[in-house]
Structure 1
Amino acid sequence: MSVMRHASVPGPAQPGLEGYRPVQTIPATQRVLDSGDLFTAGREVLIQHAEEFYRLRLTRKGKLILTK
């Protein structure tokens, strides 16, 4: 993913970046899923990939952990 600067919301206090904040651009063909939609029923979801199952967990600190 590329990062570009967008002049709208003040960003971090770094020299030369006044008035700018980093913005992630997402290709139009990329599907975006909101993590809030994934964890509506709890803090863990199972993902099946081919014949394998993976567990995606949401930690107390809001981090994501993917395990096989």
Structure 2
Amino acid sequence: MTAVRPADFAQPGTSVLARIPQHDATQLTRGGNQALIILDDQMYQLRITRAGKLILTK
């Protein structure tokens, strides 16, 4: 069996990063510094620090 790399599925002229969904953290927080993200039945908190870093906690 031969392993297939994700890049093998790329369309010509399309980078792998261009096909990954992108979200602006400031839009997720609606201009604030916190947002809640739900995955299945788990809730996570996304926080933008004063230094402009992202922290994701459960």
More helix by share: 2
* Structure 1 stretches lacking a partner, 5+ long: 1-24
- Which runs of no fewer than 5 residues in structure 2 stay unpaired? 1-15
Question: TM-score, normalised to structure 2's length?
Answer: 0.63
Give 1 or 2: higher strand fraction: 1
Return the index of the structure with the highest Cα Rg.
1
Q: CA RMSD in A?
A: 1.9
Deviations 1:37-65 (A, max 9, x none): 11224210000000000000000100000
Normalising by structure 1, what TM-score?
0.55
Matches within 5 A, 1:9-20: none
Q: How many residues align?
A: 44
Aligned-partner Cα distance in 1 for 2:52–2:24:
13
